[in-house]
Amino acid sequence: MTKNEYRELFSHHKNGTVYLNHAAISPMPIATAEAIRTFLNSRQNGPVEDFENWMDILRETRTFVARLIHAESSEQITFMGNTSDGISAVAEGLNLEPGNEVLLNRMEFPSNVQPFRALERKGVSVRYIDPVDGMVTPEMIQSSITQNTKLVSISAVQYLNGFRADLEGIGTICKEKDIWFVVDGIQALGASAINVQSACIDALATGGHKWLMSPMGTGFLYLSEKLSKSMTPSKTGWLSVEEPWELTNFDQPWVPVNQHLETGTMNMAGIFGMHASLNMFLDIGVEIIRQELLRLTDELMKMLKNRSGVTIVTPVDRKNRSGILTFSRESDDFPDNVVRSLKDQKIIISAREGLYRIAPHFYNTTDELEYTINQLFK
């Protein structure tokens, strides 16, 4: 597909909006909105109950997710509401004991911190690696592991500076040391590839509303077979047993944890939308999208390189970044005010922790980037 064909998948840019904030929330593709309307029309105008079709969409969406992350089976995919739900299910379900240790780092978004912090009430210790030059390497993780470390968790791509972790390197270390490896995938999936098998990932959690361009309140959790067998469900419901329609049989066997966590009625409108978005990504190809994002961030770096007072905090090396470009300006005490003024011009970027963050997606153009930078430095 050409750039013009990519842009035809979206409508928001036709009103003059330059949207470069996909690390926060993405515009909805036209096909995604249409899929949701199809579901809502069925609920509103009939047949209302269309369970067979819903189950087909549910199964196919699960298959799309498995393909996206290279899972062995779609049965390893559990639909969740967001990243925090997925990580919380792992943190609560592992039954870590007093004295056990979870290893994190100080760049993490709170979704990948608070669920583990909550375990401190059980005597679990949480330790943090201090990044060096905005990066956390496999070597840093290996040297930080102790005999008490039971779990390592890291974001595939960091929300603030866009650092892309070496998941395969970290996963290999965790596997060799028999440590659980958990990944927050929300800033990576849709922008770069994750292979849960080659990276030896035990749990991968994500929401769908950022780079995956899916409805808010949609997401999923992948569990390796080994981790699934080691977990106790953190929540349960009527769908968590082998024969849920045997409504008066209360003493049934539980289904495996990855199925157990889908406790009741699903967000089918959201899943219809996610189905359409994932179909788009798989049709285009994740690697094609990744390469286009690297090209766009390369262009951004060139535009910012010679600007006075600008410091780029995103790693320069392509292997260490994805779709996020973050920088500071010496002249700005309040980047939030600048971002608000750009929004009045229909230019959408973000300010985080006193830094500017620009996050284009595959349909954005170099012209949009140039226009944004010119207005920012006007």
DSSP characters for 29-43? PHHHHHHHHHHHHHH
pLDDT of residue 373: 97
In a domain, 26, yes or no: no
pLDDT of residue 279: 98
pTM of the model: 0.96
**Same domain, residue pair 254 and 347:** no
Last residue in a domain, options 259, 283, 307: 283
pLDDT of residue 107: 97
Domain count, the chain: 2
- The tokens for 187 are 């800033």
**Same domain, residue pair 250 and 300:** no
Residue 21 gets which letter from DSSP?
B
**Same domain, residue pair 313 and 215:** no
**Same domain, residue pair 255 and 331:** no
**Same domain, residue pair 264 and 215:** yes
**Same domain, residue pair 125 and 166:** yes
Residue with tokens 């925090």: 84
Domain residues for 225?
32-283
Sheet (strand 350-352) strand order: 310-312, 325-329, 355-358, 350-352
Give me the count of residues in the chain: 378
Residue with tokens 């199925």: 259
Candidates 371, 191, 215; CA nearest to 289 is 191
Which positions of the chain have pLDDT values less than 70?
none
Domain at 128, CATH number: 3.40.640.10
Domain at 352, CATH number: 3.90.1150.10
In a domain, 49, yes or no: yes
In a domain, 362, yes or no: yes
pLDDT of residue 234: 79
Q: Is residue 374 within a helix (H) or strand (E), and if so which, with residue range?
A: helix 366-376
**Same domain, residue pair 36 and 135:** yes
* CA 90/CA 206 separation, integer angstroms: 13
Candidates 136, 204, 146, 155; CA nearest to 179 is 146
* CA 227/CA 277 separation, integer angstroms: 28
* CA 159/CA 99 separation, integer angstroms: 30
- The tokens for 318 are 């392509």
**Same domain, residue pair 262 and 150:** yes
In a domain, 108, yes or no: yes
Give yes or no for a cis peptide into 47 (omega within 30° of 0).
yes
Candidates 257, 296, 324, 222; CA nearest to 3 is 296
In a domain, 27, yes or no: no
Contacts of 113 (CB under 8 A, 6+ apart): 104, 126
In a domain, 294, yes or no: yes
- The tokens for 173 are 């270390």
pLDDT of residue 332: 78
Residue 76 gets which letter from DSSP?
G
**Same domain, residue pair 267 and 175:** yes
**Same domain, residue pair 301 and 276:** no
List pLDDT tens digits, range 306-359.
Answer: 899 999 999 999 999 999 999 999 977 789 999 999 999 999 999 999 999 999
**Same domain, residue pair 324 and 205:** no
Let me know: does 223 contact 258? Beta carbons within 8 Å: yes
pLDDT of residue 22: 98
In a domain, 131, yes or no: yes
Last residue in a domain, options 283, 305, 339: 283
Q: How many CB atoms lie within 10 A of CB 286?
A: 18
Backbone angles phi, psi at 21, to 5 degrees: -135, 45
In a domain, 25, yes or no: no
**Same domain, residue pair 173 and 199:** yes
- The tokens for 278 are 């994932």
Inter-helix orientation angle 268-284/30-45, to 10°: 150
Which residues are paired to 77 by β-bridges?
222
| CA angle in degrees (0–180, nearest 5) for 144-114-235 | 115
Sheet (strand 203-207) strand order: 77-80, 219-223, 203-207, 180-184, 149-155, 101-105, 125-129
Last residue in a domain, options 283, 309, 338: 283
